[in-house]
Amino acid sequence: MMHTRAFLLLEKEYMEYEESNIFGISITPVGDNLMEWIAEIEGLKDSLWEGAELQLSLQYNENYNKIPPQVNFNTIPFHPNVDPQSGRPCVDFLDDPSKWNPKYTMLSILLSIQVMLSKPVLNNAVNLEAAKMMQNNYRQYRQRVIQCVKASQHIEDIVESLGTHSSAKVIPPTEESGDRSQARKITAISYEKYYSTWFRIATSKAAQEFKTPVFDDPDFIGNHLDWTVENVSKGEWDIDL
């Protein structure tokens, strides 16, 4: 079977990715033609986005690698350099074809986006609310990012909760495509939607926990707090909150 140049390039890039063992980046083709991919990136360690699990879609065509792919976040983060509606990351060589270099690969694109998350560029902002908040009220911005990170870790629960009332959904892997379709694709979900839904799920679960018989024990809360003081040290999440 004859394959196009774009197919062969992407197949080679995928093999290089599998050999690279790069932290916090996973890539999976959606179908056998390799023109659509699902990627998941984690926030870099020791950054504000550490712990985030964000999904992106990459769409290629037969003109690759003469032109860049179309890249969009499916789980849209609250970030100065990510369009809050489309989920498109603001990366110069993706926005401006004249800055695209055929030497760039799928992995280098995702690495650039991973770094962009941790190092926003305010003079290139497309989410003005996030940019203004970061510049004028960093504490509030930091809290919003922490909320976003926590929500991103529960995305499938959120999609299930949204159900038929939203365009957001998880597309499970298909059996016909074998190993090449293990991605679980999520259509675009805005930060506001998935955070508010996650918050509702979290508070609902907490309410259910407080209905359990263990809380009828008058000594339970005191014993639990004593254990916490003895065993849990102050963590990074508690600082400045």
Active site residues: 90
Owner of token pair 């360690």: 45
d(CA 215, CA 33): 55
Angle between helices 128-136 and 138-152 (to 10 degrees): 130
Alpha-carbon distance of 35 to 61, in angstroms, equals 6
Q: How far apart are CA 90 and CA 95, in angstroms?
A: 7
Spatial neighbors of 171 by CB under 8 A, at least 6 apart, are: 183, 184, 185, 186, 187
